[in-house]
Every structure is written in C-alpha cells, then in structure tokens.
Amino acid sequence: MAYEFKLPDIGEGVVEGEIVDWKVAVGERIERDQPLVEVMTDKATVEIPSPRAGTIREIAFEEGAICPVGAVLVVIDDGAETGASASVPGNAAEAQAATVGEVPAASSSADPATSDARTEARPPPRAPAPLFRDDGAAQDGGRVKAAPAARRLARQLGVALAQVVPTGPRGRVTSEDVRHAADPSATGEFAVEVPTEINLPAAAAAAAPAPASAPASASAATARAPQRSAGFAPMAIAAQGNEERIPLRGMRKRIADNMQRAKATAAHFTYVEEIDMSDLVDVRQRAKERAAERGLKLTYLPFLIKAVVSGLKKWPQLNAALDETTQEIVRKKYYHIGIASQGPNGLVVTVLRDADRRSIFDLAAEIQRLSRAVEEGTIKRDELSGSTFTITSLGKLGGVMATPIINFPEVGIMGVHEMKQRPAVHKGEIAIRWLMNLSISLDHRLVDGWDGAMFLQDVKQLLEDPTTMFMEMV
C-alpha cells in the first residue's frame, strides 16, 4: 500500500525546511533507515532516513522547494495490504528521531485538503489547530504552539500567548503575531504602506511620516519584513540589469536575523590587544608529537580556550546574559565555549561544553570531532546552541584586526587574527617574535570597558607565559 511520509516536527520552533538533496528517485527500491533526503532548516541541515522499506512512488517537493512541517514529503509503496496500518513502526520512528530529533504526535497530522483524495487506509488524522480560536491561540495539549523567538518576544512585550491570534503554519504563533497583539497599529490591517521604489534621500525618508493604513493586498513578505523593528520601511531593489535573486531563507535567514538582533540590541564596543605568542609556539611544537600519537591535530585553539575560561572565572560578568523579561543579569557557572566557523551552508557556532573540565588534548579531540561533523553535515542541534562565550578565528585568512559581532544573547566574543613574525622589543632588545592580535567585542550594557580590558590583559598574560596557564589548570 502507499504510505505517505511527512516532514516531522524537528523541534525548536522549526516550521518548515528547504529540500536540499534527494537521495532517492521515483521508482527506486529502498530499505528502511536508508537516507531519503537532506533538509535545511534555519537551525541546521539534517539527513532524514526512510521509516520503512518499499518503492518510491511519488516525490512531493523538488530540490530547492520549501516543505512545511507535516506536509507529505514522499509516497512509499511498502507492498503491504491496503487494510494494513500505515503508522510508523516503533523502531523506525526511533531511528528517524535519532537523526532529526524527537518526532511528536503532531508529525502524523494529515492535511485535510489532500486526505480525501487518498483512498488507502491509515490512522485517523489528528485535526490541525484552527487558525482562529475563541481563546485566540493555537494550542497542543494545553500548550500554545509558538516558536521560541515568539515566546521570548511575548515575555519582553508582556503579551499573553494564549490571547494571540496565530497566523503561522499549522496554527503556530509567530513573532509578528505577538507584535500585532502588543501594538495592532504596527502590523496587519494597519501596516505601513511600502512603495515598490523609494526615491527619497535616506535622511528625508527616515524623517517622513508614515501613512496610517495599507491596502489589503500588501504582500506577506512586506508584512513580515524584519526591518520594521528598526523603524524603517523595507527597501525594494529595482531590477537594473543582469541579476540573480536568491531567496533569503534557511541558514542564511537565520544568520541574518541573529546578526540584526545582536547589533540592534547589544551595545557593542571592541577592545584590541597584541599578544606575543613566541613561548606558546615553542610549547605547542613540543606537544604536537604527543598529540599526533593520539591521532590529534593540535592547533592553538585549545590553548586559547583554556586562557579564555581562566579569564571568565576571574571576570564572571563576561560569562553572562541579560534576562530581558525579568531584567536580571544571569551569571553562568558553567563554561560552554562557542567556536564560530564557516560551514558548507554558512556561519555556524559549534559548542564545546564544560571547557573548564577538559584537558588540552580533550579540547583538541572535541574541536576535531565537531569540525568533521559540520563538514559532513552530521552536526546535532544541541551541538549548535547553548554557548556562554564565543571565539571566532580569522587567522588563516590574514588581516590585522576585525570587530566581531556578539553571538547574542551572550555578552562577549573574541576574535583571533593572523599570527606572524615581526620585529619587536623583547627584554630590552629588538628580536623577531611571533605576534598576533586579539579583539574582543562586548555588550556595554553588562560589561564596563575596564572589566573587558582587564579580562583581555589576563588572557594575554596566560598566552605569553604558558607556564602560568598550566598552573591555572592544576
């Protein structure tokens, strides 16, 4: 019989995914747990396996298409009798969850628009939450369905989610729904009218009064434009020649949203210091052979992490976050260091958990494992979240200095730059030394300039005199 396999609820507020790569074709015979498709969400790219064996009868979405959670991805003829149950076997569901996260009951809901056209027997569909409810919210077992970003925004604006009218996929409350509930004049039927081209100078456009209403035909893209939060109308780009238009979605959209929020929220300031790495170069060179015996590639990053963790323990205001809903500074007693790096689909921040409890070699092994997982597309969601402080390295590309953007809601990020031999004064004499710049961007709301500078000076001391670093580790 034909089995409809739907895109499961991957969790963390993900409501849709972009089809990246089909691993199968129509007419192909597949086995259970065989990779079916790669799907990219705004969190990560995941590979989804088949929950059962059979023959591919239909592929519902082409590569590059956006598939909502709960929509039919593929139809598989498993050869079973028509009256047989179409539910996913328990062990297959577990295999599926191992790759893309826990699959809740909502993933088995059927689309009423297509269910009547299917004649094969299957479990009765769970009715989707209505778009508008008497209580104004879409709920699942008493819990309002909303993305984490929408929940955070609701707390910030003092909006009760249960009273918000949802417009997202499958009755999910979106951030824009929350904004509309907090200030109806800012969205929906009272949205600002956006012209297709903006001819005013930037200063005049910013000062110009906004119209009071918008036509009902305003596009969904306009209604959801992130620029509204900054007080500017969305900028339309008129076609002027040979151009390519690429939808802003998936990982790129996630990066854009995070960067915009970080710059708009955190009061950034950057402090730069030059580090003499010469002694650490010698220490690493001596340790590389022992690391190689363990199959490890020993870079400078584990040493940097150890120095940073030591500094964070001394300056706990840098290992913190601001709870904007309660106006409390949350100082964290654990040290999960984020490592920002370029992945196949864009910038990712992998997380080294409990860095304070790991040795130099342990850190090197974990860095190696996470880097390989990013390259192979097997990184897990929980390995991309939860960092308390981030390090970003551009040293391989050269450059003197950069001003990294904070990985919000953290309050600090350290940039590592190219290390090169340069003449410097050492012990009263000019010598060729290994020099490198470190830059640290901090949120001035929580961290004073003095504290940030002293933190980096402590990191500098540990890196320039590795023996003190090793004493800190005892």
| Domains present along the chain, CATH in parentheses | 2-115 (2.40.50.100), 130-223 (4.10.320.10), 255-473 (3.30.559.10)
Indicate the range of 74-83, 86-95, 231-240 predicted with least confidence. Answer: 86-95
333: pLDDT confidence band, cut at 50, 70 and 90?
very high
Using CA atoms of 2, 91, 99, 48 in order, give the dihedral in degrees to the nearest 10. Answer: -10
Res. 409 pLDDT band, cuts 50 70 90: very high
Mean pLDDT comparison of 64-68, 87-91, 117-121, highest-scoring range:
64-68
E strand map for 173-303: 268-276
| Beta carbons within 8 Å of 285's beta carbon, 6+ residues apart | none
The Cβ of residue 82 has, within 10 Å, a number of other Cβ atoms equal to 10
**Residue where the block lists tokens 């009902």:** 216
Q: Which residue has the higher pLDDT, 142 or 91?
A: 142
Other residues' Cβ atoms within 10 Å of the Cβ of residue 375:
12
At 143-172, the pLDDT tens digits run 677 766 677 777 767 777 777 777 776 677
Helix (H) or strand (E) holding 305: helix 301-314
Nearest-angstrom CA–CA distance, 419 and 394: 10
Task: Give the pLDDT score at 381.
Answer: 82
Provide the β-strand partners of residue 274.
437
State the Cα torsion 461-466-472-474 to the nearest 10°. Answer: -170
Q: Roughly how many angstroms between the first and final C-alpha of the chain, as a whole number?
A: 64
Q: Tokens for 296?
A: 């490890």
DSSP 104-139: -GGGGPPPHHHHTT--S--PPPPPPPPSS-TTS--E
Give the per-residue pLDDT at 86.
Answer: 43
Residue 183's pLDDT band (cuts 50, 70, 90): low
Cα dihedral 61, 63, 66, 71 sign: positive
Identify the helix (H) or strand (E) that includes residue 286. helix 278-293
Q: What is the pLDDT of residues 427-469, one digit of tens each?
A: 999 999 999 999 999 999 999 999 999 999 999 999 999 988 8
Whether 68 and 16 have beta carbons less than 8 Å apart is answered as yes
Asked whether residue 13 carries a pLDDT value surpassing 80, the answer given is: no
Per-residue model confidence (pLDDT) at position 180: 72
pLDDT at position 269, please? 96
- Please state the pTM of the whole predicted model: 0.58
Query: Tens digit of pLDDT for each residue in 109-134?
Result: 444 444 444 444 444 444 443 333 34
Residues with active-site annotation = 444, 448
Distances in whole angstroms, Cα of residue 356 to Cα of each of 164, 297, 411: 43, 20, 19
* DSSP three-state, residue 131: coil
Assess contact for 389 and 337: CB atoms under 8 A. yes
pLDDT of residue 12: 58
The pLDDT, as a whole number, for residue 305 is 97
Return the ∠ at Cα 442 (arms to 436 and 444), rounded to 5°: 145
pLDDT at 355: 97
**pLDDT confidence of residue 129:** 37
Cα diameter, the chain: 88
Region 174-185 average pLDDT: 69
216 in helix, strand or coil? Answer: coil
pLDDT of 14 over the 80 cut: no
Of 395, 385, 281, 387, the C-alpha closest to 336 is 387
pLDDT of residue 221: 39
Please tell me the predicted confidence (pLDDT) of residue 473. Answer: 67
Residue 250 has pLDDT above 50, yes or no: yes
Cis peptide before 409 (omega within 30 of 0): yes
pLDDT at residue 98 is higher than 50: no
pLDDT given for residue 254 in this prediction: 80
Separation CA 272–CA 270 (nearest Å): 7
Which residue would you say has higher pLDDT here, 312 or 159? 312
Whether the pLDDT of residue 67 is over 80: the answer is yes
